[in-house]
Structure 1
Amino acid sequence: MKVLTANRLIDGEVVWYGAAEAWIETIDTARLARDKASEEALQNVGKAALAANLVVDVELIDVELVGGRIVPTRLRERIRAAGPTNHLHHGKQARPDFVPVA
């Protein structure tokens, strides 16, 4: 399975393309690609958003479902989903509603 991630151009925030067909700030409701056709559809969304100067660094990343939650398989992407590793009071992990993905 894969999800589409990028950085929002206006502020650099890590975002994912959501199931509601919008860029979202948490991976929890990212749109899942379970086959090649879905992956291609997400890639097209990413290309269009890049061309519209909405996001940069668009990438499909590997994820798995763990206990019903979307979890990136690579450490780099887990860090991007949570925030910086230097302090728990920075990034997405500092939000009151944050639930760690790993």
Structure 2
Amino acid sequence: MSLQVVTANRLDDGLAVFMTADDGWSTDIGDAVCATDATQAEVLLARANTAAQQVTVVGAYLIDVAKVDGALVPTKYREVLRTLGPSVRTDLGYQAG
């Protein structure tokens, strides 16, 4: 199994966020807590799908990541785009900052 992290969309602004070790959420994938096996991944996903979490985020799911030069990066193109923000308006999202 590859490494996995939990991602979701934050309700107040719609940005892609990643679950942190303290059950918080960060827009930086580098802050994400990483599961190394299927059991850990399912525990993380269950923690992300509690009623308390669903007032902050929506649509939590697991994504595959890899460590590249010590940094976590998504392995699927769709998830790479989600970490960058809208691809049609470069004045919006993370790339505008």
**TM bin (shorter chain):** 0.7 to 0.9
| Structure 1: gaps of 5 or more residues | 96-102
Amino acid at match of 1:71: V
- Equivalence map 1:7-18=2 (5 Å): 7-18=9-20
Structure number with greater CO (CA < 8 Å, separation at least 6) is 2
Q: 1:18-51 CA distances to partner (integer Å, 9 max, x unpaired)?
A: 1343111111111100012210211111211576
- Equivalence map 1:1-102=2 (5 Å): 1-48=3-50, 52-95=54-97
TM-score using structure 2 length = 0.85
Amino acid at match of 1:89: D
Distance in 2 between residues matched to 1:79 and 1:24, nearest whole Å: 16
Amino acid at match of 2:24: A
Identity among equivalent positions (%) equals 39
| Structure 2: gaps of 5 or more residues | none
RMSD between aligned residues:
1.8
Q: 1:57-91 CA distances to partner (integer Å, 9 max, x unpaired)?
A: 11100110111111101101000001122243321
TM-score using structure 1 length = 0.81
* Count of matched residue pairs: 95
